[in-house]
Amino acid sequence: MDERSIGKRIEEMISDGVDIIDMGAYSSRPGASDVAMDEELSRLRMGMKILRSIDSSITVSIDTFRAKVAKSAVEEMGADIINDISGGNLDDEMFEVVSRLGVPYILMHMRGTPETMQQMCDYHDVTADVIKDLSEKLRKLHLLGVSDVIVDPGFGFSKTIEQNFEIMKHLDSFSVLDSPLLVGVSRKSMITKTLGITADEALAGTVALGAIALTRGASILRVHDVKSAVESVRLYELSTL
């Protein structure tokens, strides 16, 4: 995307009522190729400059698995949250850096890398195994003094479509982790492949699964279509709170 397109997209999300803007410069789609660290930083600097010129107060999470990128994003670019799709697996320094930075950390479950993750879907019990992995990492983070952790089961990351739905069925089990729960299913293959549609046609499926996730304990929905998600959350809150 060019600078004008990025700015327009940011303005649309803010207008639609977004709470947190998640900015990333490294594609995490299955099979995605590697992006050099310098290139990732360059893209993030451009994106953050545009974002802060539009709104200096909006909360921003940075989608990166690299500790050095996380450090620069917070200290240099003014990011507020680190969103690590690898849950610390791809950079041994990430947990310590997050501890020093003192910012909230999104701990997602994934095996392997974006290039290899779909070859690593062998679980005994996918929900129990994911919870166990997240629990062990939460203990490590807490020992380092990181208390503000959001957990993400990692829908679509090193999981088959069937496993994604298995986790969704038992999403309330993640309450045992005693951490806010983030769910990201927007336009993913568990919707498109199941229904035989394209990502552009997946809004209804995204809203449906997002609503189900809210009823099962999700605190944060990571979405592409902000307006629809905001409306869904509002109706959910009016119906339950």
The pLDDT, as a whole number, for residue 153 is 98
Is there a domain that residue 84 lies in? yes
Structural domain count of the chain: 1
- Do 70 and 64 form a contact (C-beta atoms < 8 A)? yes
For the chain, which residues score pLDDT lower than 70? 29-32
Is there a domain that residue 29 lies in? no
**3-class SS shares of the chain: helix, strand, coil, % to 5:** 50, 10, 35
pLDDT 10s digits, 160-188: 999 999 999 999 999 999 999 999 999 99
Is there a domain that residue 76 lies in? yes
Is there a domain that residue 58 lies in? no
The pLDDT, as a whole number, for residue 1 is 73
The pLDDT, as a whole number, for residue 115 is 80
Residue 161 sits in a domain of what CATH number? 3.20.20.20
Q: What is the distance of C-alpha 35 from the center of its chain?
A: 18
pLDDT 10s digits, 107-125: 999 998 888 888 889 999 9
The pLDDT, as a whole number, for residue 118 is 85
User: Taking the model in full, what pTM does it have?
Assistant: 0.94
Reduced to 3 states (helix: H, G, I; strand: E, B; else coil), residue 63 is strand
Is there a domain that residue 221 lies in? yes
Residue 67's closest CA among 39, 95, 87, 86?
95
The span from the CA of 6 to the CA of 47, in Å, is 7
Range(s) of the domain holding residue 149: 63-240
- Do 111 and 117 form a contact (C-beta atoms < 8 A)? yes
The pLDDT, as a whole number, for residue 32 is 64
The pLDDT, as a whole number, for residue 60 is 98
Is there a domain that residue 80 lies in? yes
Is there a domain that residue 75 lies in? yes
Is there a domain that residue 81 lies in? yes
The span from the CA of 157 to the CA of 67, in Å, is 20
So which residues are the catalytic ones?
Answer: 188, 222
- Angle (CA) 232 183 185, round 5°: 80
